[in-house]
Amino acid sequence: MTPSNSRTTALVTGASAGLGHEFAKQLAAQGHDLVLVARNASRLAETAEDLRRRYGIVAEVLPADLTDDDVAAVVERLEDTSRPVGILVNNAGIGLLHNFEDNHAPEEKKHLKLHAETSMVLTHAALKGMLERGEGRIINVASVAAFLPRGTYSAAKAWLVSFSRWANLAYRTRGIKVTAVCPGFTHTEFHDRMGMDKSVAPSWTWLRAERVVSEGLADNERGKALSIPSKRYKVLAAVAKVAPARLMAGPARKPK
């Protein structure tokens, strides 16, 4: 299907579940056409059909594994000047359950590539057309973990936050708004897929995906470089700047 010429098209990665699905839904509700990217082709097709039916928008599907060579197909779509993408949401992500020393190096490389390298490559692909048009929006889904010394997930998200803050400074005067959305624990499938026992986090720490996305979209529209949903996580991020690293690192996990 061809996107409408009168509406902005948004490309969302990891769009078949979790925050990606919620971003797609809220963007569709705002009247944007969509390009939906995820690994699960059948689930992606179901998502697209549901959003077309509910919101009357155009929804393309682009099945792709963004930890592999499939990134090239998404780059090609972003660089297609005949079908411009005005909003990019880099949301796809994975988590690693075990300590760094217990993970295999290829798992760590895949993890780092998806969170940092892939987001950078897709941002680079989207920017040229956005700059030529003098407008565009980019949302990079990071995490409040970016402000905490907690393994390679925190490290990768810290890179994404730093990259987003720089890009917002560099390109905002040219019409491009770049925002790192930094949620804490959020009710999605993310933690289930990595095998985490979610009971270790108190109930008050959990956010709803709807809130994370609505605040993230609003902050991006306002041109903010950082979006940290909820006062509790804003406080945590602020405390992390001044508290001793050993305090913010959390309890050490024992080897299995």
CA distances from 241 to 44, 157, 228 (A): 39, 16, 14
Neighbours of 65 (CB within 10 A): 14
Give catalytic status of residue 198 as yes or no: no
Can you state the angle between helices 118-133 and 71-78, rounded to 10 degrees?
10
Q: How far is CA 244 from the centre of its chain?
A: 28
Q: Cα separation of 212 and 99, whole Å?
A: 27
Q: Cα separation of 182 and 233, whole Å?
A: 9
Of the residues 55, 153, 171, 233, only one is catalytic, namely: 153
Give catalytic status of residue 157 as yes or no: yes
Q: Cα separation of 145 and 147, whole Å?
A: 5
Of the residues 25, 55, 113, 157, only one is catalytic, namely: 157
Torsion sign over Cα 61, 63, 65, 68:
negative
Residues labelled catalytic = 153, 157
